[in-house]
Amino acid sequence: MPSLVHHPLDPSSRLVRLMCAEYGVPLDLEEIKPWLREPDFLEVNPAATLPILFTELEQPGVGVLSAVHMVEDLYTPEAVSGLVPPDAGARAEMWRLVEWIIVKLNDEVTRYLIDEKIAKRDQRGATPDPAVLRAAKSNLVEHMLYFNWLLATRAWLAGDTMTLADFALAAHLSSLDYMGDVDWSKAVETRDWYSRMKSRPAFRTLLNDRVVAMPPSPGYADLDF
Amino acid sequence: MPSLVHHPLDPSSRLVRLMCAEYGVPLDLEEIKPWLREPDFLEVNPAATLPILFTELEQPGVGVLSAVHMVEDLYTPEAVSGLVPPDAGARAEMWRLVEWIIVKLNDEVTRYLIDEKIAKRDQRGATPDPAVLRAAKSNLVEHMLYFNWLLATRAWLAGDTMTLADFALAAHLSSLDYMGDVDWSKAVETRDWYSRMKSRPAFRTLLNDRVVAMPPSPGYADLDF
């Protein structure tokens, strides 16, 4: 069975878990805290990023791009349609949005909130910096406006079909939602879309995730939130 | 002919130009300054990133992931070996390093130096912040140590064959080298590798690039630097 070195709130780990669940591939999960920078972990990934995917290949998939491509290479089912559209134009729009999410949204929102709210709990005496939290949340409001605008005219984030871009955004929003940082009342279109994502069987494992001493926000696991 | 909206020192634009040159695909180039955030540009790419690749497809390739995948989709030659290795393990290692370069190296080094040295020239009265330049250059030293370490045991960045990872690193280092930020005297292995990259016919167009009122560093266009 393939195994994934992950953290439950790391959005890139969540993306790979969602893909594998969607493709019907069971995963052994090994939880680590990348911010502790333990030597064994740094030896496999000096960039200290997650996830790391071990499969039947000798080479692991290290980091989100490598792991996502590995899942596509090894596990895309033949019988059902995969998450990468067959049409080149649709793929281009999908990659544009995947980059938006794994680079821009991460860089402006998700990584700050995880650093401040989760990683800092392992630094004695450290507390979240209110200025950083405020900036990240204000950036999130702008991102949500953009996603609302897209989803007002499209069934799925990158167009007519569900793609990797939907899974990437759902992975990030589910982490942010766990921490209580998403104001769904101001994001009608994105909320409707997220409700569809959340109802997929692939989503179930994520909704049962719990971080020690940090319960999820009230609506986190509700399909009707 | 496909056309590329680019900036001469933007490393992601350079990566796509190198790929197209390697694959023998001529490009029309349209230069813009993404930091001016002009409305026509933001309409095509609200993320304000480069490059944007227009081809025979209706949908443009917007941003580095989308454009790189589009070049692979449309232009990988059948006759010569492409930049994405056929072996899944080799591809995983390639994507790990592509992510290292387009996310981590960019985030810790390249984007700061371009912002401070190039983009600020369009802000009246702004000058580069010495503290930011120092931090970026000190980060670059760490990155170069890692690349030296990899290239001491490998012919190419991701293994035995030249891949997209080599082109991504060469694109970033060529921008940094233009600005005079690479200390080659302390990077023997990377210098040997870069000398091989620079000698490829695909590299020629980059070496003729000039930014107005900012000549390149002395060794920039020399094959023997």
**How far apart (Å, rounded) are the C-alpha atoms in residues B8 and B31?**
7
Residue B178 near residue B220 (C-beta atoms within 8 A):
yes
**How far apart (Å, rounded) are the C-alpha atoms in residues B158 and B154?**
8
Nearest to B70 among A49, A63, A92 (CB): A92
pLDDT band at residue B80 under the 50/70/90 scheme: low
How many A-B residue pairs are in contact by the CB < 8 A criterion?
Answer: 98
DSSP annotation of B100: I
Please give the pLDDT value at position A79. Answer: 62
Please give the pLDDT value at position B213. Answer: 85
Quick one: closest CA in A to B51, which residue?
Answer: A96
DSSP annotation of B156: B
Query: Which tokens hold the place of A2?
Result: 């393939």
- Does the pLDDT value for residue A42 go beyond 70? yes
Q: For the segment B12-69, what is each residue's pLDDT rounded down to a tens digit? A: 999 999 999 999 999 999 999 999 999 999 999 999 999 999 999 999 999 999 999 9
Nearest to A65 among B74, B89, B99 (CB): B99
- What angle separates helix B164-178 from helix B188-198, to the nearest 10 degrees? 100
Is B57 in contact with A99 (Cβ distance < 8 A)?
Answer: no
Query: Which tokens hold the place of A112?
Result: 């700050």
Q: b/e string for B167-202 if b means 16 or more Cβ within 10 A?
A: bbbbbbbbbbbbbebbeeeebebbbebbeebbeeeb
pLDDT band at residue B223 under the 50/70/90 scheme: confident
Determine if residue B180 is left, alpha or beta; phi over 0 gives left, psi from -120 to 50 gives alpha, anything else beta: left
Domains and CATH numbers, chain A: 88-201 (1.20.1050.10)
Pairing of strands B3-6, B28-31: parallel
**How far apart (Å, rounded) are the C-alpha atoms in residues A140 and A143?**
5
pLDDT band at residue A77 under the 50/70/90 scheme: confident
ipTM over 0.90: yes
**How far apart (Å, rounded) are the C-alpha atoms in residues A154 and B176?**
40
Q: Give contacts of A58 with chain B, Cβ < 8 Å.
A: 89
